[in-house]
Amino acid sequence: MANKILSHRDLIVWQKAVDFADSLYEMTESFPKHELYGLTSQLRRAGVSVPSNITEGNGRGTTQDYIRFLFHSYGSLMEVDTQVHLATRRSYITVNDEDRAIEQLSEFGRMLNGLIASLERRKASRESNNKRGAK
């Protein structure tokens, strides 16, 4: 039997996203000081935004709001993708670092898509049941 999700902290995707955001902080510690308010800040904020949007969506009152915030989280993943690539181009990180980050981003993307699909199915099922009950 599957474990019941009681909060966002029970979601594996949230747990992994928090770990990844933390690793972005470590990665950006070696960036040049002149990037502190540029790429360093952008990468950190986008990385923190991924688990934050999962949390906010989970705390909203409707499934539709939850799904909307999961899409925001996915958008933040895409921001990190671009920013990591730019960091590689600027030689702030290695190609191997970029490859590891992209691998994790792809995994998060699949997990978010799976969660979104699950919530959309649940929402459609509820709507279908409500329509049948209204007849």
pLDDT value of residue 130:
72
* CATH number assigned to the domain comprising residue 29: 1.20.1440.60
The tens place of each residue's pLDDT in the chain, 135 residues long, gives 456 777 899 999 999 999 999 999 999 999 999 999 999 999 999 999 999 999 999 999 899 999 999 999 999 999 999 999 999 999 999 999 999 999 999 999 999 999 999 999 988 887 777 766 665
CA angle 112, 78, 86 (to 5 degrees): 150
pLDDT value of residue 1:
41
Mutual angle of helices 12-28 and 63-89, in 10-degree steps: 30
Our count of domains for the chain comes to 1
In a domain, 132, yes or no: no
In a domain, 20, yes or no: yes
Q: Where are the alpha helices (DSSP H) in the chain?
A: 12-28, 39-59, 63-89, 95-134
pLDDT value of residue 12:
92
In a domain, 1, yes or no: no
Containing structural domain, residue 112: 9-125
In a domain, 39, yes or no: yes
In a domain, 48, yes or no: yes
Give residues with Cβ within 8 angstroms of 14, minimum separation 6: 8, 51, 54, 55
DSSP letters, 60-72, are SSSHHHHHHHHHH
